[in-house]
Every structure is written in C-alpha cells, then in structure tokens.
Homo-oligomer: A and B are copies of this chain.
Amino acid sequence: MRWDTLEEETCSLARTVAVIGDRWTLLILRECFLRVRRFEAFQSSLQITRHLLSERLKKLVRFGILRRVPYSDAPKRYEYILTQKGLDLYPIIMAMVHWGDAHMGDERGRPLLHEHKTCGKLFDPVMVCSECGEALHAKQVHVHAGPARREAGR
C-alpha cells in the first residue's frame, strides 16, 4: 500500500489517516484548536521546519480542513482557519489528549485542563453511543459490512 492510494481505500479509517495520519499534521491541528492561525506562529511554537509546515498547510487546505484567508492586502498575507470539516476533527484530537492524560502522564499531573463553558465544569471527553447514550467500549461493538464494502466485493 502506497500513500497516494490510501485515500481511495474502502475504509474510513484509512481515508482519515491519509489526511491527518502523520505526526506534524496532528500537532499543527492541535495549534489550530489553540487558536494559532499564522505561519510564523505555527513555526515558532512547533519548531517545525518551514518547508514541511508549508507543505502540510497546503495539504490541509487542499483537503478542506483549513481555509487560507487574507488578513493583509499589502503585503499579501494569509492566515489559516479551521473549516467546519476541520472543526469536526475535534473529537479525534480530544480523544488523543485524553488518552495521553490517562496513559502517558507523569507525576506532575496534566498539562491542560478543559472547561466546558456550557456547564462550567472541568471535564473529560467521553465517547458514547448515539442511540442509547451509554459509554462505548470496543468489546460491546459488532461490525457489519456496509454498502460501500459490499459494493467493493469483500
């Protein structure tokens, strides 16, 4: 499997991985959710090489995850803003943060705490079933072939 074929796989995980499945992209998205928007700001907070940052931002724009929006006419300058498609990545990022908090922490506790403005409390993200609202666990889920899979003949 080569990477240019990954986004055409009949697997939603593979397609997601084709877009955000590398380390720099995930870290760039973290910065986006922390309200970072400009090239220099990404570069200095991540210490990513300018070359790769440029390349990754282009890719995220190409996939519709970021929009490149002008904020100055002369000289022409742009900032990168999450689209709705990009904002929808939030559960992925939060799930990763939560797993890191739970399993990769050290004695100093958590780096960040999250407050839910709606209820005013510090919270953890929990993944639940859309139908019954119960917390989801891998062993309670059964997988069926969907229409795309059947059409692909597997």
Contact = CB atoms under 8 A, between A and B. Distances in A.
Contact of A93 (B13, B87, B152): B13
A154 to B, nearest CB: 9
Interface residues of A, number: 91
A44 B143 CA distance: 20
A89 B38 CA distance: 31
Q: Which of A100, A106, A136 has the most CB of B within 10 A?
A: A100
Contact of A125 (B10, B30, B108, B130): B130
Contacts of A47: 1
A99 B105 contact: no
B110 A13 contact: no
B95 A116 contact: no
Given A16-B99, A119-B134, A127-B125, A111 B21 contact: no
12 contacts: A11-B30, A13-B27, A13-B93, A14-B100, A17-B23, A19-B104, A90-B138, A91-B95, A95-B95, A109-B147, A114-B141, A115-B141
Closest 6 CB pairs of A and B: A12-B100, A109-B147, A119-B132, A110-B146, A15-B104, A108-B148
Interface of A: 1, 3, 6-7, 10-23, 26-27, 30, 33-34, 46-48, 64, 82, 85, 87-106, 108-119, 121-134, 136-149, 151-152
